[in-house]
Amino acid sequence: MDPNLVKLREVASLITESVEEFEYNLMNVIRESSPEVVILDDISVWERLGLSTTSVLKVVLEAMHTVNKGLVYVSSSLNNQTFKRLSLYADTSITLELIGGGFGKEVTGKLHISSKSCSLENQKTELLYLAGDRSIKCFYPGDASLA
């Protein structure tokens, strides 16, 4: 057997053990500290490190139920199965779509906002946006804009 393959398997098992330990420690911290806001930044990294979709969903949903009347913000750099499943549980989902173009383009991208109303129907809004050096302008349909 190739010794490099053995080393690769050892590294993979260490990463898996570390991710499982991370999941356990994260939930303990959330339970013990009872924060009002939890921010889980780029959960797609967890999947890249070997955490299954089910485990990611479990951590996020447990965080949502543990945070007492608080907020849980989750971001993902991938529009994958985990993101689609989490969107079912989210009150508000915001996705960004870059719009390609030349140097003279007037907008940077499109902002999709989906929000559940009291009747659990999704209200969808689309805005165009322009990202500047220190500001972002959102353009509503029509002539008005919000800076």
Question: If you average pLDDT over residues 81-97, what whole number do you get?
Answer: 82
Q: Specify the DSSP element, H or E, that contains 32.
A: helix 3-33
The per-residue pLDDT for 125 is 84
Alpha carbon distances (Å) from 94 to 38, 88, 109, 147: 17, 13, 13, 18
pLDDT higher than threshold 60 for residue 24: yes
Q: What pLDDT band is residue 51 in, cutting at 50, 70 and 90?
A: confident
Q: What pLDDT band is residue 59 in, cutting at 50, 70 and 90?
A: confident
Question: If you average pLDDT over residues 74-95, what whole number do you get?
Answer: 80
Q: Check residues 12 and 89 and name the one with the higher pLDDT.
A: 89
The per-residue pLDDT for 5 is 53
Nearest to 93 by CA among 73, 120, 64, 63: 73
Q: What pLDDT band is residue 120 in, cutting at 50, 70 and 90?
A: low
Report how far residue 114's alpha carbon sits from residue 125's, in angstroms, rounded to the nearest whole number. 6
Question: If you average pLDDT over residues 37-60, what whole number do you get?
Answer: 81
Question: If you average pLDDT over residues 6-33, what whole number do you get?
Answer: 69
Nearest to 136 by CA among 110, 112, 115, 113: 110
